Amino acid sequence: MQYSSQAVAKPYFIVSIALFVGQILFGVILGLQYVIGDFLFPEIPFNVARMVHTNLLIVWLLFGFMGASYYLVPEETETELYSPKLALVMFWIFLAAGVATILGYLLVPYATLADITGNGLLPTMGREFLEQPTITKIGIVVVALAFLFNIGMTILKGRKTVVNLVLLMGLTGLAVFFLFSFFNPENLVHDKFWWWWVVHLWVEGVWELILGALLAYVLIKTTGVDREIIEKWLYVIIAMSLITGIIGTGHHYFWIGTPEYWQWWGSIFSAMEPIPFFMMTIFAFNMVNQRRRQHANKAAVLWALGCSVMAFLGAGVWGFLHTLAPVNYYTHGTQITAAHGHMAFYGAYVMIVLAIISYAMPMLRGRKAANSRKSQVLEMWSFWLMTVSMVFITLFLTGAGVLQVYLQRFSDDPLPFMVVQEKIALFYWMREGAGLVFLIGLLVYLSSFFIGSKDPEATLESA
């Protein structure tokens, strides 16, 4: 660790991982509720579990992005963070707001939560992924602004690199597009139209800039390849992400009451969305192949490479599967969407946050460059357990989705939704099994922070 203020990243990473565990526990509960509908009812109904599962994901990724920025920006700018104290204050505010919100979901009925948080004054609740009470949303904006101020001031006073400028662009976009969560028009078409400006333009727009910047940073650090080469790739990747991703929003506008041209625009542009992800895969493998030095932290390199492959498969290939309007006409809102959502989020965003945690955490915990060999072996085991089980989760959900599309929408004699759900239950059971393996992988991941932490640091020869 070159700058002492990078240390503020550590609590962000710790909370990030803790919330990740919470997300997966609720995922396992949800998976079981697909086949045993009243499991844990009425304590944790399906809709609440789903809300907690998705909201925790977003919040822990945000913690991860913030931690990553606090770690990366001082090194990139070659200066201490503008205000480590502000970063810590915001950490506690964000944590308190996040925990209070999740407890609110779990302890009181959602309608009561809306009442007691004054949703009536500025109604923003009740929409998928944006379920947070309005006061939580205001809290998120405050935290995001303070965070941007802190990062922006640091970059202003220090060295400007392509990595930190792309990161800053992504983070600014993240904050700006979140503001659309306050826009809640009464017309349902308008409501859905702008809702995607948060949901889509985050994950298929500005978050890709953050992903690109973090990946570039980890690769610069672990491969020693010329910054100039890595930055050039970053330019091309982000340009393609934006060209395809922004108008690609149209693939959500096929059937919500928007004009017909969105079916063409959405299909054409989003069909190109795999390109930047494919470039990212080529980029990551090339940089590692052209590396000028070995890095003792093999686990971090594994996460970075894995991220580029899984993001391409999950976001690129599985997204393309159902992005063309004539296909989406049948697949819209089926388990195909769930399959894509799982692998895309895991591949693109979970893995990049784990990559940067893997790279930074050893230094934050006082190591010179890497964990002990034993810790790294465990971490790499967790990589394979989680990644392979996620592949299976995706495949089982895809199987469920294909059957669902056929039985419910395509066959000559379409069956009702619930009848189909019973017929595809076997796939849900298998998905639950894969989910349990994922949980085991996560436990192995946690153990890698404790087992071997007293052992000597891995060297190039032993790693």
Partner 1 sequence: MGRRCITAADLFLPAIIGCSLQINVLPPNMTDSTQIRRYPPGDLAIWIFIIAELLVFGIFFASYAFARANNVELFNTYQLTLDRQSALLNTLLLITSSYFVVRAILSIQADNSQHCIRWLLAAMAMGLMFIVVKSVEFAHHLGAGISLSTNTFYMFYLSLTFFHFLHVILGMVILTTLAIKTRQGAYSATQHDGIESGASYWHMVDLVWLILFPLVYVMR
Interface positions, 286-345, toward partner 1 (CB under 8 A): 286, 289
Q: Which is nearer to partner 1, 235 or 410 (CB)?
A: 235
The least CB distance from residue 450 to partner 1, in Å, is 39
| Residue 277 interacting with partner 1 (CB under 8 A) | no
Considering only 74-82, 173-181, 272-280, 410-418, which stretch makes contact with partner 1 by CB under 8 A? Answer: 272-280
- x/- site string to partner 1, residues 191 to 230, per CB under 8 A? ----------------------------------------
Residue 355 C-beta: closest distance to partner 1, Å: 20
By beta-carbon proximity to partner 1, the closer residue of 58 and 230 is 230
235 binds partner 1 (CB under 8 A): yes
**Least distance CB 186 / partner 1 (angstroms):** 23
Q: Kindly determine how many residues on this chain lie close enough to bind partner 1 according to the rule CB under 8 A.
A: 25
What's the 3-state SS for the chain? CCCHHHHHHHHHHHHHHHHHHHHHHHHHHHHHHHHCCCCCCCCCCHHHHHHHHHHHHHHHHHHHHHHHHHHHHHHHHCCCCCCHHHHHHHHHHHHHHHHHHHHHHHHCCHHHHHHHCCCCCCCCCCCCCCCCCHHHHHHHHHHHHHHHHHHHHHHHHCCCCHHHHHHHHHHHHHHHHHHHHHCCCCCHHHHHHHHHHHHHHHHHHHHHHHHHHHHHHHHHHHHCCCHHHHHHHHHHHHHHHHHHHHHHHHHHCCCCCCCCHHHHHHHHHHHCCHHHHHHHHHHHHHHHHCCCCCCCCHHHHHHHHHHHHHHHHHHHHHHHHCCCHHHHHHHCCCHHHHHHHHHHHHHHHHHHHHHHHHHHHHHHCCCCCCCEHHHHHHHHHHHHHHHHHHHHHHHHHHHHHHHHHHHHHHCCCCCCHHHHHHHCHHHHHHHHHHHHHHHHHHHHHHHCCCCCCCCCECCCCCC
Which of these ranges, 38-46, 237-245, 294-302, 410-418, lies near partner 1 under the rule CB under 8 A? 237-245
- Using the contact rule CB under 8 A, the part of the chain among 72-80, 87-95, 231-239, 341-349 near partner 1 is 231-239
By CB under 8 A, tell whether 236 contacts partner 1.
Answer: yes
Note whether 119 binds partner 1 by CB under 8 A.
Answer: no
Q: Which is nearer to partner 1, 249 or 398 (CB)?
A: 249
The correct pick among 6, 77, 267, 297 for binding partner 1 (CB under 8 A) is 267
Map residues 240-259 to x or -, x wherever contact with partner 1 holds by CB under 8 A.
x--xx--------------x
Q: How far is the CB of 264 from partner 1 (least distance, A)?
A: 6
260 touching partner 1, by CB under 8 A: yes
Binding site for partner 1 (CB under 8 A): 232-233, 235-236, 239-240, 243-244, 259-261, 264-265, 267-269, 271-272, 275, 279, 282-283, 285-286, 289
